[in-house]
Amino acid sequence: MFKKIFFCLLVLYTCNLVYGERNCNDCQIYYSCKAAFDHARLRQNDETKKLFQKALCGTEIDDGESVIKVCCSDFPSLDTRPTPTPPIKNIENRWAGMSKETLLPDRCGSILGNRIFGGRKAKLYEFPWMVLISYTTREGPQFQCGGTIINSKYVLTAAHCVVDKKIAGVRIGEFDINSDRDCEYEPDKVICEDHIQDMYVTDIIPHENYQRSPTANDIALLRVDGEIFLNYTNVEPICLPLTSELRSKRLDHKNGTVAGWGYTETGRESAILLRVEVPVKSDAECKGYYNRNNRDAVKKQFCAGELKKDSCNGDSGGPLMMKANYNDVNSYVQYGIVSHGPMQCGSSFPGVYTDVREYVDWILNNIKE
């Protein structure tokens, strides 16, 4: 993803070393400038290259990487509203004989934005694939689970979030639930976003062999009514472990990132999107915590978390993500779905996650154009 962008930025960075740096009052990392970020993401052409070349004003080390800075005022705002797509005739013929993998995006899981490792509050635009699931309750619509965008029509979540539930819809592009306009305040600049997509759900697809206790096959898909507009800065699919290399990746003792608003069945919640880093346990360690005598205790699941760090800091149905190489780009790949855990959040018992690697074929078999 963003091969052209990073190639362009590499060239521009070289130009910057040759021609020197500009002085301006709004010099900032390019992805902190919404107009520059929109150009780099949505308009990869010669005009954008010239804009970046003119606007270069330095570099800054962010999370160990050298990132270019630009004069933000040099970039005109882009109209990022989507253009309606005309209906495609003969859909069946179009996809006949083609792999279902073509229904999933080549561009996903981008690692862009000013990251905070070990912190709890996420950054605006950091996890643009996050989805809130709304339910019809006696108290009115309430958010109680999360999910992730995997393409323009499907949301991935947990089966326990959809079975025997009255789903009112999904919300896409949210950051702070209590605010219509989400803003981040940095020195000398303010970044704001107000685009939200509230959508109805047409199809609810839990795994056909889902069972509540003991929990097994806790995975589901939601098909939205219409299409999710993906050409907004705060909306993007997450990558799935499609390739054999990604599916065979060992997760033991590696850290994963869990994100969500903390909405769970216990009522814990946060208005602002949260993130937490959790260590993945080995199968042997997981069995030591859960059902020691049940050899299938962690089949197609894995455990992650430690004292005061677990998936209570995220949503049921939300993702556990790791950085990996996806189409030659370092991207976020979803390896887990928040399933269940100990009664006391943040205890020494780890949380349990549905292992997405085990269900890639199920996902591909259940999505359609």
Residues noted as catalytic: 160, 218, 316
Give strand ranges (E) for 63-123.
65-71
328 conformational bin, left if phi > 0, alpha if psi -120 to 50, beta if neither: left
Q: Give the residue ranges of DSSP H helices in 56-163.
A: 91-95
Collapsing DSSP to helix, strand or coil, 116 comes out as coil
Residue 289 in contact with residue 369, Cβ under 8 Å? no
List residues bridging with 352 in a β-sheet.
303, 340
- In angstroms, rounded to a whole number, what is the distance separating the alpha carbons of residues 314 and 310? 8
- In angstroms, rounded to a whole number, what is the distance separating the alpha carbons of residues 115 and 63? 7
Cα–Cα distances (Å) from 213 to 132, 192, 218, 287, in that order, read 25, 43, 11, 16
- In angstroms, rounded to a whole number, what is the distance separating the alpha carbons of residues 140 and 51? 48
- In angstroms, rounded to a whole number, what is the distance separating the alpha carbons of residues 353 and 21? 48
Give strand ranges (E) for 44-92.
56-62, 65-71
Q: What is the DSSP letter of 214?
A: T
